[in-house]
Structure 1
Amino acid sequence: MQIHNLSKTPSILNTFMSELRDETTQKDSMRFRRNIERIGEIMGYELSKSLQFEPHNIETPLGTSTTVLHKKDIVLCSILRAGVPLHNGLLNYFDAAENAFISAYRQHKHNPDSFEIIVEYLACPSLEGKTLILADPMLATGQSMVATFEALKPFGTPKEIHLVSVIGAEEGVNYVSNAFNKDVHLWIAAIDDKLNEKGYIIPGLGDAGDLAFGNKLQQ
C-alpha cells in the first residue's frame, strides 16, 4: 500500500486538525463538521494529483484553450454516519462523482472491550473499471474499512482504490496495509501511536460521529 501522510508537510491542514482535537473547540458541532469537510477538500486536492488526466479543448469567446482534465469515473463511498462531512468535502472537489453509502458499526456482544463490524445498509453504483474513493474519518482498528470494501466487491472491480481518513492509529494503518494490495493508496491527515483497550485512537479526538451529529443510543 502507498501511504500519503499529509501531516509530514506543515500546512493550513494543521489548523483544522488542531481544532478537531481540541476538546473545547470540538464542542461546536457545526465547526467540527466544517473542519472535517475542509480536511476532505484538502485531501481531495492532494489525491487528485495521482489521478489519470486526458487532454481537452475548451472553447472560449476568443479562441481555444487546451488543458488536461481528470477522467470523470470516480465513485465516492463513505461509511455512515461519521463519514458524511468527509464525503461532503471530497464531493466539493469531485462534484461529478457517483456516490455510494454504507453503514458499518461496532457490535459489542458480551465483552465491552471486543466487537465485530456489522454492515447493514448499502447503496452503490457499478464499480467496474472505475476509481473508488473509500472515506472513513477514523481509521482505528482498520476493520471497518476492510469490511466495507468486502461488502462492495459484488458491485465490480475498480481500476484504482483510494482510502481517505482524517486520523489513524498505527495498528489500523498496518491492518489495512496488509489487507489491501500494494497499488492501493491511503491518504491520511495524521497517524497516532496507539489504540486504547476499547479500540479508540489515542490521542485521537474522541468519537467523530457523536461530535458531528450528537450522542447515539447504545444497543
Structure 2
Amino acid sequence: MHIHHLLENNSIANKFIAQLRDINIQTDRMRFRRNIERLGEVLGYELSKHLNYNDTSVTTPLGQANVPLPAEDIVLCSILRAGLPLHNGLLNYFDDAENSFISAYRHHPDNDEKFEILVEYLASPSLDNKTLILADPMLATGRSFVNVMKALESMGTPKNIHLVSVIGAKEGIEYMQSEFPENTHLWIATIDEELNERGYIVPGLGDAGDLCYGTKMQH
C-alpha cells in the first residue's frame, strides 16, 4: 500500500487539523464539519495528481485550448456517518463522480474493550473497472476500512482503490497494509503513534461522528 502523508510537509492543512483536535474549538459542530470538508478538498487535490488524464480540446471565444482532463470513472464511497463531511469535500472537487454510501460502526457486545465492526447498509453503483475513493476520517484499528471493502466486493472489482482519511494510527495502517492490494493508495492528513485500550487514536480528536452530528444512542 502506498501511503501519502499530508503533514510530512507543512501546509494550510496544519491549521485545519489543529482546530479539529482543539477541545475549545471542536465543540462548534459546524466548524468541525467544515474543517473535515476542507481537508477532503486538500486530500482530493493531492489525490488528483495520481489519476490518469486524456488531452481534451476546449473551445474558447478566441480559439481552441488543449486541457488534460481526468480519464477515470470515479465512485466516491463514504462510511456513515462521520464520513459525510469528508465525502462532501471530495465531491466538491470530483463533482461528476458516482456516489456510494455504507454504514460501519463499533459494537461492544459485552460493554468492554472488545468490539466488532458491523456493516448494515450499502447503496452503491457498480464498481467494476472504476476508480474507488473510500473515505472515513478516522483510521484507528483499520478494521472499518477492511470490513467495508469486503462488503463492497458484491458491487464489482474496482480498477484502482484510493483510501482517504484525516487521522490514523500506525497500528491500523500496518494492519491495512497486510489486507489491501499493494497498488492501493492511502491519502491521510496526519498519523498518530498509538491506540488506547478501547482502540481509539491517541492523541486523536475524540469521536468524529459525535463531534459532527451529536452523541448517539447505542443499540
Tell me if both proteins adopt one fold, taking TM over 0.5 as the criterion: yes
Instruction: Map 1:15-30 to 2 at 5 A.
Output: 15-30=15-30
| Runs (4+) off by over 2 Å | none
Unpaired segments ≥5 residues, structure 2: none
Is the contact made by 1:53 and 1:68 (CA closer than 8 Å) also made in structure 2?
Answer: yes
For 2:67 and 2:212, the matched residues in 1 are separated by 39
Query: Which residue of the partner structure matches residue 122 of structure 2?
Result: 122
Residue 111 of structure 1: how far off its partner (Å): 4.7
SS state at 2:26 partner = helix
TM-score normalised per structure 1: 0.99
For 2:76 and 2:19, the matched residues in 1 are separated by 26
> How large is the RMSD of aligned CA atoms in angstroms?
0.7
Residue 62 of structure 1: how far off its partner (Å): 1.1
Is the contact made by 1:77 and 1:99 (CA closer than 8 Å) also made in structure 2?
Answer: yes
SS state at 2:37 partner = helix
Residue 181 of structure 1: how far off its partner (Å): 1.3
For 1:197 and 1:148, the matched residues in 2 are separated by 23
For 1:179 and 1:125, the matched residues in 2 are separated by 23
Query: Which residue of the partner structure matches residue 146 of structure 1?
Result: 146
Is the contact made by 2:51 and 2:72 (CA closer than 8 Å) also made in structure 1?
Answer: no
For 1:97 and 1:177, the matched residues in 2 are separated by 26
* Number of positions where the alignment pairs a residue of Structure 1 with one of Structure 2: 219
String of CA shifts for 1:177-218, please: whole Å, max 9, x gaps.
Answer: 110111000000000000011110000000000000000012
Query: Which residue of the partner structure matches residue 102 of structure 2?
Result: 102
String of CA shifts for 1:77-136, please: whole Å, max 9, x gaps.
Answer: 000000000000000000000000000011111252011111001000000000000000
Is the contact made by 1:72 and 1:96 (CA closer than 8 Å) also made in structure 2?
Answer: no
For 2:112 and 2:60, the matched residues in 1 are separated by 62
Identical-residue share of aligned pairs (%): 63
For 2:71 and 2:89, the matched residues in 1 are separated by 19
For 2:126 and 2:167, the matched residues in 1 are separated by 29
Residue 154 of structure 1: how far off its partner (Å): 1.1
String of CA shifts for 1:1-47, please: whole Å, max 9, x gaps.
Answer: 00000010000000000000000000100000000000000000000
String of CA shifts for 1:41-86, please: whole Å, max 9, x gaps.
Answer: 0000000000000010001111000010002500000000000000
Does residue 87 in structure 1 map to residue 87 in structure 2? yes
